[in-house]
């Protein structure tokens, strides 16, 4: 993985979404090694984020994203 080029980054409500997704993708292996489970039922946004598919809906984002 590599960070997205600056010219291709996405801003949403003054949040640099591209950089946050990149950071999340780097963090997931650490979470799994710590035994934190990621399930389809509870973590659909997380799973989509691993493939760089942002699901942006007001008031519908998981608390740790």
What are 8-63's pLDDT values in tens digits? Answer: 888 888 888 888 878 888 888 888 899 888 787 777 777 777 776 766 666 666 66
Provide the domain count of the chain. 1
Domain range for 19? 6-50
Cβ neighbours for 19, distance < 8 A, ≥ 6 positions apart: 3, 4, 9
Q: Is residue 23 assigned to a domain?
A: yes
Q: What is the pTM of this model?
A: 0.56
The pLDDT assigned to 64 comes to: 63
What integer pLDDT is reported at residue 54 of this predicted model? 65
Residue 56 domain-assigned (yes or no): no
- Specify if 35 maps to a domain: yes
Q: What is the pLDDT of residue 15?
A: 85
Residue 19 placed within a domain: yes
In a domain, 34, yes or no: yes
Question: What is residue 61's predicted lDDT score, i.e. its pLDDT?
Answer: 62
46 contacts 23 by C-beta, under 8 angstroms: no
pLDDT at 63: 65
In terms of C-beta distances under 8 Å and separation of at least 24 residues, what long-range contacts does 7-16 make, across chains too?
Answer: 10/54, 12/56
């Amino acid at each position: 993985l590599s960070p997205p080029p600056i010219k291709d980054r996405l801003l949403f409500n003054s949040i640099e979404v591209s950089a946050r997704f990149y950071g999340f993708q780097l963090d997931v292996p650490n979470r799994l090694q710590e035994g934190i489970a990621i399930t389809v039922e509870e973590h659909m946004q997380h799973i989509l984020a691993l493939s760089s598919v942002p699901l942006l809906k007001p008031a519908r984002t998981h608390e740790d994203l």
